[in-house]
């Protein structure tokens, strides 16, 4: 046999062996895969196990749903995040809010809601506990100017040189719960005048509870008693504050049924007074 013929015969034998071994390999793979519930692609179309398809679909759905949720937070989660962002960046937000140049420590949304309430309920007097620089008192007085009626009595233990003069504002110096301060405030209100109240002084639970006891009697039926800064102590900001306006308010409402929370006043999505817009109904 010539070298050439022997080489061809050998090559033929090898090819046969390789094909046999590939066939055996595929068969082994098939058996192993069948044992593991998998399919082997040997060129012929394969059917996947329905259980496997369901598992893959469930995993993809779970991952896809999770990604959607992370990128599209719920309305309440977005509200809470924005509230915390707004509160915690006070230097450019609520500590940097002015009415006609005077600092007013409120959100524009809450100020707008006050304006709507003043217009709707038309109180003769608005008592504000906690004046600070007087921006909010000035804002209320300006609204009363536009309405052609109403005045503001605002109370604070401290003075501020920034306070504006306005013929509709009366400043009262003293603690909002001190008997002499309360007597002074009452002396400034004529019988039959309708009163609205805004509590924004010392935000400790004990102080707000005392204010609620005193001033809730003065509010006219249909008018509002606004308990400000119910958002502290984790509602949803300043969690380390301790019991504050929200806790005082909850105790008050559990025993005093003359007031209802008006949640419609929280319509803008951001209010520093969650549950704090109280309307006297009895």
CB–CB of 176/158 below 8 Å?
no
> Rounded CA gap, 118 and 157, in Å?
26
Pick from 123, 130, 245, 276: which binds ligand SAM (CB under 6 A)? Answer: 130
Pairing of strands 151-156, 125-129: parallel
Pairing of strands 125-129, 102-103: unpaired
Q: Residue 207 CB, nearest distance to ligand SAM (Å)?
A: 6
* Of the candidates 90, 97, 91, 124, the residue with the CA atom closest to the CA atom of residue 112: 97
Pick from 79, 113, 144, 200: which binds ligand SAM (CB under 6 A)? Answer: 200
Pick from 107, 201, 231, 233: which binds ligand SAM (CB under 6 A)? Answer: 201
Closest to ligand SAM by CB, 1 or 158:
158
Task: Say whether residue 110 binds ligand SAM (CB under 6 A).
Answer: no
Six-digit token string for 197:
């109240």
Task: Say whether residue 127 binds ligand SAM (CB under 6 A).
Answer: no
Inter-axis angle of helices 245-255 and 205-215, nearest 10: 40
Return the ∠ at Cα 139 (arms to 253 and 211), rounded to 5°.
25
Q: Residue 60 CB, nearest distance to ligand SAM (Å)?
A: 52
> Rounded CA gap, 155 and 182, in Å?
10
Task: Say whether residue 129 binds ligand SAM (CB under 6 A).
Answer: yes
Task: Say whether residue 175 binds ligand SAM (CB under 6 A).
Answer: yes
Q: Residue 101 CB, nearest distance to ligand SAM (Å)?
A: 13
Secondary structure (3-state) at 157 = coil
Closest to ligand SAM by CB, 72 or 217:
217
Question: Segment near ligand SAM (CB under 6 A), from 31-39, 114-122, 129-137, 144-152?
Answer: 129-137
Considering just the CA atoms, what is the radius of gyration of the chain in Å?
37
**Burial annotation 200-213 (CB, 10 A radius, 16+ → b, else e):** bbbbbbebbbbbbe
Task: Say whether residue 104 binds ligand SAM (CB under 6 A).
Answer: yes
Q: Residue 241 CB, nearest distance to ligand SAM (Å)?
A: 13
Contacts of 61 (CB under 8 A, 6+ apart): none
Task: Say whether residue 157 binds ligand SAM (CB under 6 A).
Answer: yes
Question: Segment near ligand SAM (CB under 6 A), from 6-14, 17-25, 81-89, 102-110?
Answer: 102-110
Task: Say whether residue 152 binds ligand SAM (CB under 6 A).
Answer: no
* Of the candidates 136, 140, 142, 168, the residue with the CA atom closest to the CA atom of residue 156: 136
Interaction residues for ligand SAM, span 10-49 (CB under 6 A): none
Pick from 125, 127, 135, 182: which binds ligand SAM (CB under 6 A)? Answer: 135
Pick from 113, 126, 132, 197: which binds ligand SAM (CB under 6 A)? Answer: 132
Question: Segment near ligand SAM (CB under 6 A), from 2-10, 35-43, 83-91, 153-161?
Answer: 153-161
CB–CB of 130/203 below 8 Å?
no
Task: By CB under 6 A, name the binding residues for ligand SAM.
Answer: 104-106, 128-132, 135-136, 155-158, 175-176, 200-202, 207
């Amino acid at each position: 046999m010539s070298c050439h013929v022997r080489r061809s015969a050998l090559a033929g034998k090898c090819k046969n062996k390789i094909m046999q071994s590939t066939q055996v390999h595929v068969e082994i793979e098939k058996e192993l895969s069948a044992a593991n519930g998998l399919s082997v692609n040997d060129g012929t179309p394969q059917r996947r196990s329905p259980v496997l398809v369901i598992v893959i679909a469930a995993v993809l759905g779970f991952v896809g749903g999770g990604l959607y949720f992370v990128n599209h937070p719920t309305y309440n989660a977005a509200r809470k995040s924005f509230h915390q962002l707004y509160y915690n960046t006070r230097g450019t937000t609520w500590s940097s809010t002015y009415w006609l140049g005077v600092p007013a420590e409120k959100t524009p949304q809450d100020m707008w809601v006050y304006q709507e309430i003043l217009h709707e309920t038309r109180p003769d007097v608005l008592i504000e506990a906690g004046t600070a620089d007087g921006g909010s008192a000035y804002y209320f007085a300006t609204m009363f100017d536009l309405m052609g009626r109403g005045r503001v009595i605002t109370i604070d233990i401290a003075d501020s040189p920034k306070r504006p003069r306005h013929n509709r504002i009366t400043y009262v110096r003293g603690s909002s719960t001190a008997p002499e301060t309360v007597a002074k405030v009452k002396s400034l209100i004529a019988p039959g005048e309708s009163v609205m109240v805004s509590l924004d002084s010392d935000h400790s639970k004990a102080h707000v509870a005392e204010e609620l006891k005193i001033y809730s009697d003065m509010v006219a039926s249909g008018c509002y008693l606004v308990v400000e800064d119910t958002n502290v102590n984790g509602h949803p900001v300043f969690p380390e504050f301790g019991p504050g306006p929200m806790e005082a308010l909850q105790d008050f409402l559990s025993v005093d049924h003359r007031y209802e929370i008006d949640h419609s006043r929280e319509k803008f999505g951001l209010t520093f007074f969650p549950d704090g817009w109280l309307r006297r109904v009895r």
